[in-house]
Amino acid sequence: MVDSKILDQLEKDLGSVKWKELAPHLARDSIIIVSTSLSLAEVGVHVVQDNQEQINTWIESGLLAKPSLQQIDAWQSEDPSFICSIVQPFVLIQLAS
């Protein structure tokens, strides 16, 4: 179950950031890519609540992943914008539309 208080706070805290600004988080291996088919804030709630069953389901389905070297290389040159949510110790990101 999604905690509405946490969800509201995470939705308020969503921010836009360019890829190059995420470099310190990439160096700490804390970036997780969230599929645009999922709500970034709802994923954040599951991370906060340590809902490992749901998180593992998303990982196994390819809906959550660490950035690949190919993605990192492309994003280094393109510097796209992302929507992000910081859920310690992770930074959840989605490509901005």
Q: For the segment 1-10, what is each residue's pLDDT rounded down to a tens digit?
A: 778 899 999 9
Please report, for the chain, the start and end positions of each structural domain, with discontinuous segments joined by +: 4-95
Q: Over its length of 97 residues, how does the chain's per-residue pLDDT go in tens digits?
A: 778 899 999 999 999 999 999 989 999 999 999 999 999 999 999 999 999 999 999 999 999 999 999 999 999 999 999 999 999 999 999 999 8
Strands (E), the chain: 15-18, 31-34, 64-65, 81-87, 90-95
- Tens digit of each residue's pLDDT (9 = 90 or more) over 49-58: 999 999 999 9
Pairwise CA distance, residues 65 & 95, whole Å: 13
Q: Is the dihedral of CA 16, 95, 52, 9 positive or negative?
A: positive
How far is it, in rounded angstroms, from Cα 27 to Cα 42? 25
